[in-house]
Amino acid sequence: MEKVIIIRYAEIHLKGKNRGYFERVFGVNLEKALKGLRHELRRTSGRYLVTAFREEDAEELCARIARVFGVHSYSVGVRVPNDLESIAAAAMSVSPQSGTFKVDTHRADKRYPMTSPELNAEVGARLLASFPALKVDVRAPQHTVFLDIREDGSALVFGMFCEGAGGMPVGTSSKGLLLISGGIDSPVAGYMMAKRGMEVKYLHFHSYPYTNEQARDKVIVLARILSRYTGGDTVATVKVTHIQEEIHKKCAAELNVTLLRRFMFRIAERVAARQGAKCLITGESLGQVASQTMEGITSSNAVVRLPVLRPLIGFDKEEIVARAKKIGTYETSVLPYEDCCTVFLPEFPAIKPKLSYIEEEEKKLDVEALVAEALGTMEEFPLR
């Protein structure tokens, strides 16, 4: 009896001709996730099987599998030869000993001498005989023992389906650059795009010495947590202090945030080009704060050619918080820190500034020189 983890994949099967490509990327991502733990991974029609692992690693292996996008569900079970005796013994090993249950058989091998109902009945009867406290309930059982008769002469026997992360394998939907702050929203935005198969790179703006190293380290920690789902191995940082000082000195105070965002987007577009990213990603949600109005979005989109993806645009704060808790970024996000957006924050930021007014104010600055200067401060920090 060989211990196995059975991994079923999600939307990949919908991809027709690209299926081979999706499966390859998925396999590579699984291997990356399981790296460092002894195991063997192989594909058998429509599933991946993890075998040859140490019993004590099973929990960690499952935790890692649960984070890989494209995993629909997974189960811990055993793999045995497909004769009835071996299957019954395997069922015994995964079966509960009391409560209600049923046996549920799936036959990939349609030539198997017993039908699914026959197997359900026979194995069910043997379990009942061995565990007197068990009762059959085919409608709403507390437990199900699953038998999966494979085409290669083996049977997989397991007791539970655990939910995977869903989505598509990271790397199958292009590459995006996440503008990551230390807040709650942007990490969730990166997660959402990775879930749709996008490889995510990270860019953070700081205003040292107004913001300190702790603020930066916090972002690195966030990106490290995120990278377990999204891939990516560095965070790029760019210093925008001089830009903020210039805006503060020369432009209408109510436009501070609006103008800073336009600089952020311009810089991000150049960083994206360097990294081969095809879009920018932000954690904006419509109406959440003064700068996240349609006017704010229009003003920042106006300075870039790349599409800007805002996967949280229709989310309420509670929904974002719930997601952040699930991903594991929330506890870090709520630690106190100074974000560059809160430096020089005007008392009354403009909520619906006209683009013509913004552009007029911006003419007081040497935009190109400031962008080039900021790019010169770019640093990269490893996540591992």
Binding site for Mg ion (CB under 5 A): 181, 183, 339
Residue 28 CB, nearest approach to ligand ATP (Å): 28
Considering only residues 181, 227, 275, 329, which one is a binding residue for ligand ATP as defined by CB under 6 A? 181
Does the protein bind ligand ATP through residue 185 (CB under 6 A)? yes
Nearer to Mg ion, 80 or 222 (CB): 222
Nearest-CB residue for ligand ATP: 183
Question: From CA 244, how far away is CA 90, in angstroms rounded?
Answer: 66
Structure tokens at 132: 């007197």
Residue 270 CB, nearest approach to ligand ATP (Å): 14
Question: From CA 107, how far away is CA 112, in angstroms rounded?
Answer: 8
Does the protein bind ligand ATP through residue 293 (CB under 6 A)? no
The pair phi, psi for residue 134, each rounded to 5°, is: -85, 145
Nearer to ligand ATP, 127 or 180 (CB): 180
Classify strands 199-206 and 175-179 as parallel, antiparallel or unpaired. Answer: parallel
Of residues 262-291, those binding ligand ATP (CB under 6 A):
282-284, 288-289, 291
Does the protein bind ligand ATP through residue 226 (CB under 6 A)? no
Residue 134 CB, nearest approach to Mg ion (Å): 54
Choose among 316, 330, 262: nearest CA to 285.
Answer: 316
Does the protein bind ligand ATP through residue 216 (CB under 6 A)? no
Residue 29 CB, nearest approach to Mg ion (Å): 30
Classify strands 199-206 and 143-149 as parallel, antiparallel or unpaired. Answer: unpaired
Considering only residues 22, 53, 158, 205, which one is a binding residue for ligand ATP as defined by CB under 6 A? 205
Question: From CA 302, how far away is CA 227, in angstroms rounded?
Answer: 30
Does the protein bind ligand ATP through residue 172 (CB under 6 A)? no
User: How does DSSP assign 180-214, residue by residue?
Assistant: --SSSHHHHHHHHHHHTT-EEEEEEEE-TTTS-HH
Nearer to Mg ion, 55 or 318 (CB): 318
Of residues 46-105, those binding ligand ATP (CB under 6 A):
none
Does the protein bind ligand ATP through residue 315 (CB under 6 A)? no
Q: How far is CA 277 from CA 21, 171, 360, in A?
A: 20, 12, 31
Residue 184 CB, nearest approach to Mg ion (Å): 8
Considering only residues 75, 105, 172, 186, which one is a binding residue for ligand ATP as defined by CB under 6 A? 186
Print burial letters for 324-333: b (CB count within 10 Å at least 16), e (below 16).
beebbbbebb
Whether the CB-CB separation of 262 and 369 falls below 8 Å is answered with no
Residue 197 touches which of ligand ATP, Mg ion, none (Cβ within 5-8 Å per kind):
none
Q: What is the CA radius of gyration of the chain?
A: 27
Total residues in contact with ligand ATP, by rule CB under 6 A: 19
Residue 273 CB, nearest approach to Mg ion (Å): 25
Residue 283 touches which of Mg ion, ligand ATP, none (Cβ within 5-8 Å per kind):
ligand ATP
Sequence-ordered alpha helix ranges (H) in the chain: 19-34, 58-65, 84-94, 116-130, 185-195, 213-230, 241-250, 256-275, 294-301, 317-327, 330-333, 355-362, 367-375
Residue 90 CB, nearest approach to ligand ATP (Å): 48
Question: From CA 177, how far away is CA 191, in angstroms rounded?
Answer: 12
Of residues 139-158, those binding ligand ATP (CB under 6 A):
none
Residue 183 CB, nearest approach to Mg ion (Å): 3
Residue 205 touches which of ligand ATP, Mg ion, none (Cβ within 5-8 Å per kind):
ligand ATP
Structure tokens at 317: 């704060």
Residue 239 touches which of ligand ATP, Mg ion, none (Cβ within 5-8 Å per kind):
none
Whether the CB-CB separation of 169 and 69 falls below 8 Å is answered with yes
**Interface residues toward ligand ATP, by CB under 6 A:** 179-181, 183-186, 204-205, 282-284, 288-289, 291-292, 339-341
